[in-house]
A and B are shown apart, each in its own frame.
Chain A
Amino acid sequence: MTCRDVRRHLMAWARIGAEDRAEREAVRAHLRQCPSCEEEARLWALRRMLLQATRTDVVDPDPSLYARVSAQVRRQRARPVFPFWEAVRAFSASIALTATIVLILLVGVNIYVHQQIPSGRRDFVSALMERNFSEAERLVFAGEEELNQDSVLGALVAESRESR
């Protein structure tokens, strides 16, 4: 098992836990002799432990809650609602969001292009430069569900298209 395989497994374990026995043993053997993967594994294991610790059991609310909620809804019925202002607020928020995304995209693409371009990524970058967003997106998402730098950049591209 290579370091890359090990890390791919660990990333999945951090989320859904380890299931396959053979896979677990292979990872365990690798971690024993690879300090750098052991270090990374520790980080992800800690993240998993902490997140799992925030789980709470399903419980019944205080029985009086239902009556309190119903009473509040009854009071609300008396009051008129102005969906208009809600709509105005939502509209201005969406403009701000779009502007932010476009800005992030511009800065992000700029930084990306000015970094060294790894071979094999040239197609993606040239598609991006030619503003061929659908091609860029296809290259990025091709058979890949994991979250890496490329997939996020692709998502940014897709986002900018949606908001236009």
Chain B
Amino acid sequence: MVAETRNSASELVPDDEELVERSLAGDAEAFEVLVKRYGRTVYNVAGRFFRQPEMREDITQETFLKAYQALHTYRRGASFERWLMKIAVNACYDELRRMKRRREFSLADLAEDERVWLEEALAKPAFELFEQQQQSEDAAAVAEKLLATLSPEDRLVMLLYERDGLSTAEIGDLMGWSRSKVKIRLFRARRALDKRLRRLLRAARPTSAAKARAEGPPSRRAEGR
């Protein structure tokens, strides 16, 4: 802006509120500072729901576009970052709703490696599974297929509550849902997911070969079942 009377220090690092005001007054560069400041955060919020970089980029674009259009609704004194995060999570939710939902999920939908992963996991005592920390691409692929059968709401609450440990109040605040609605969704999401998992568990009763692999020393993974 031309009529700038602030000292040089605050001009070097303008705070969010000031940047919002300048943007509303038509200063395009001010909004670009906000994009640079929070672009990474938004991109990683999208990463909570989507693995593909293109998808995360689309979500980031959409989030800032929506934020720009709704800038007049941002209230002074509130955290801009938090306000932006709500828009980002809702953009993810919209994308989940647009995605095609898988009708069914069975053992036959798993690739060979994924099936081997599952059988090896199930051959261990449940207690050990709780302790397991290592990340596995196969597990991620199985999870992806399983989650794709859930409704967008169920998927969202499963990830935010069960995986990321957010509270029902926090999710309600992010989504603009009442706490009751979050609880209902959670209950249904768990029931839906567990139903599919139970079916999977029944189908994937570990074979003796998988048991031997899990108990014995590590052996070749691609071994026939």
Chain A interface (Cβ < 8 Å from any Cβ of B):
10, 13-18, 27-28, 31-32, 38-39, 41-56, 58-62, 65-66, 68-70, 72-74, 76-77, 81, 147, 151-152, 154-156, 158-159, 162
Contacts and interface: CB of A to CB of B under 8 A. Distances in A.
* 7 tightest Cβ-Cβ pairs between the two chains A and B: A45-B129, A41-B126, A155-B180, A53-B139, A50-B143, A42-B126, A51-B163
Contact of B129 (A42, A61, A155): A42
Contacts of A45: 126-127, 129-130, 132
Given A60-B40, A69-B39, A156-B180, A46 B122 contact: yes
B28 A159 contact: no
26 contacts: A13-B130, A15-B165, A31-B125, A31-B127, A38-B126, A44-B126, A45-B126, A45-B127, A46-B121, A53-B135, A53-B139, A54-B144, A54-B147, A62-B53, A66-B32, A66-B39, A69-B39, A69-B60, A69-B64, A70-B35, A72-B61, A147-B190, A152-B183, A155-B183, A158-B178, A159-B181
Contacts of A10: 130
A69 to B, nearest CB: 5
Interface string B171-206: 000000011110110110010011001100100000
Interface in B21-78: 28, 31-32, 35-36, 39-40, 43-44, 47-48, 51, 53, 56-57, 60-61, 64-65, 68-69
A28 B194 CA distance: 22
Contact of A73 (B35, B122, B127, B190): B35
Contact of B140 (A27, A54, A62): A54
B158 interface: yes
Contacts of B201: 42-43, 46
Contacts of A154: 180
A109 B183 CA distance: 17
Nearest to A10: B130
- Chain B contact residues: helix, strand, loop or mixed: helix
Given A47-B194, A48-B130, A70-B31, A159 B163 contact: no
A49 B31 contact: no
Contacts of B68: 73, 76-77
A41 B44 contact: no
Nearest to A11: B190
Contacts of A69: 35, 39, 60-61, 64
Interface residues of B, number: 59
Contacts of B163: 51-52, 54-55
Contact of A54 (B159, B181, B183, B194): B159
A10 B60 CA distance: 37
A32 B78 CA distance: 52
B80 interface: no
B142 interface: yes
A32 B125 CA distance: 9
Given A56-B48, A61-B43, A155-B181, 11 more contacts: A13-B130, A31-B126, A31-B127, A46-B197, A47-B197, A49-B132, A54-B159, A66-B32, A69-B39, A76-B65, A159-B180
A72 B139 CA distance: 37
Contacts of B193: 47
